[in-house]
Amino acid sequence: MDFETDRFISTLVDRAPPHALEHLQLVLIPLVIAFVVAFPVAILLTRRRFIRSTERVMAVFNAGQTIPPLAVIAIFFPFLGLGREPALLALTIYALLPIARNTLVGLKGVPREVIEAARGMGMTDWEILIRVELPLSVPVIMAGVRISAILIAATAALASLVGGGGMGTIIFAGIDFFRVELVLAGTLFIVFIAILLDRVLTVVENILTTVHLKSR
């Protein structure tokens, strides 16, 4: 293939941006929904009452990661058809595991003597969760969110295969028509989105992380 610079520039500037916006939505919406689901569930799994269900529930999240997103779309095709909705669902399911697993690991990693002392002083279970366990788990939980973000940023490229839009439209057009300029432009946008997300989440993490963890 030869490389036509004009076409590359015009793709970058004209054709790609609307799809970039679509792509951003395809990343942010599943990320937020996955967080809203995985985060509380993982917290519940660390509570004494539900601790025995941990393995079973984590197996569900595991499956969510292992089943390829396109297969998920195929499974839900009778209910959701093609287009944006099944793509969003598949990406949400895909994003659950890193958030759930990291929340679980983060909470379990809080030193037991800290929780024991907090209980012994008379903090309620809720106070311990909010004031001790979660603040101490922020770095690990945020690592999970960032992993999910980057995974979905890349995987969202597949959404276009089922009519879901996003940067995949440009990339697969480039593949189908042997236009490397399109593939490159599309990929650059995905990389840019991934880096942007990572930066933003890092800022969020820094705001949430308390001093003692920052100075380590």
**Residue ranges binding another protein (CB under 8 A):** 111, 113-124, 127, 132, 135-136, 210-213, 216
State the nearest-atom distance from the C-beta of 135 to another protein, in Å: 5
Residue 193 and residue 27 in contact, taking contact as beta carbons nearer than 8 Å: yes
Please tell me the distance from the alpha carbon of residue 112 to that of residue 83, in angstroms, as a whole number: 48
Query: Nearest 5 degrees, angle CA 166-CA 21-CA 149?
Result: 75
Nearer to another protein, 15 or 119 (CB): 119
Q: Which amino acid is at 37?
A: V
Closer of 51 and 114 to another protein (Cβ): 114
At its nearest, how many Å lie between another protein and the CB of residue 137? Answer: 10
C-alpha–C-alpha distance, residues 114 and 212, integer Å: 15
In whole angstroms, how close is the CB of 134 to another protein at the nearest point? 10
The smaller minimum CB distance to another protein, of residues 202 and 210, is found at 210
- The residue assigned the tokens 């379990």 is 108
Q: CB of 105: closest distance to another protein in angstroms?
A: 17
Q: How far apart are CA 70 and CA 155, in angstroms?
A: 10
Q: How far is the CB of 140 from another protein (least distance, A)?
A: 14
* CB proximity list for 103: less than 8 A, separation 6 or greater: 38, 39, 42, 43, 137, 140, 141, 144
Nearer to another protein, 136 or 190 (CB): 136
Q: Which is nearer to another protein, 199 or 214 (CB)?
A: 214
Residues 62, 54, 156: CA angle, nearest 5 degrees:
25
